[in-house]
Amino acid sequence: GAVVSQHPSRVICKSGTSVKIECRSLDFQATTMFWYRQFPKQSLMLMATSNEGSKATYEQGVEKDKFLINHASLTLSTLTVTSAHPEDSSFYICSARGLGRGGEQFFGPGTRLTVL
């Protein structure tokens, strides 16, 4: 199957700093990328959907100024958590989907963010 990488896998930062997470599709062109957040013992919660070259679509309740998403190319999307606070500590995971709206998604390995 297709491979999606995510970097970094783990990050610890101080409150008030910004953290950037990269999601790359390594062997296919990802027309759509999804960013999820997972709280302990909860399902994957979709934060936003990004299509290459256009603005991301954020889910209700997700602050777009807080979670900046950029999908500048068909192989790279970034999520920047701005002015991070301890409540932003979570597991963030991206997925990428090629052509075909009902197609399967290929997931990155996720990023564990801890804000002190």
d(CA 23, CA 108): 7
5 vs 82, which CB is nearer to other proteins?
5
- Shortest Å, Cβ 15 to other proteins: 27
Q: How remote is the C-alpha of 110 from its chain's centroid?
A: 8
Length of the chain: 116
Minimum distance from CB of 10 to other proteins (Å)? 11
Toward other proteins, which CB reaches closer, 93 or 115? 93
Nearer to other proteins, 67 or 106 (CB): 106
Q: At closest approach, how far in Å is the CB of 64 from other proteins?
A: 17
Contacts with other proteins by CB under 8 A lie at: 1, 4, 34, 36, 41-44, 46, 49, 57, 93, 95, 101-110
- For other proteins, the closer of residues 84 and 94 by Cβ is 94
Q: Give the C-alpha separation, 97 to 32, whole Å.
A: 5
- For residue 113, the minimal CB distance to other proteins (Å) is 16
What residues have CB less than 8 Å from 87, skipping those under 6 apart? 115
DSSP state of 88: G
Q: What are phi and psi of 115, to 5 degrees?
A: -110, 120
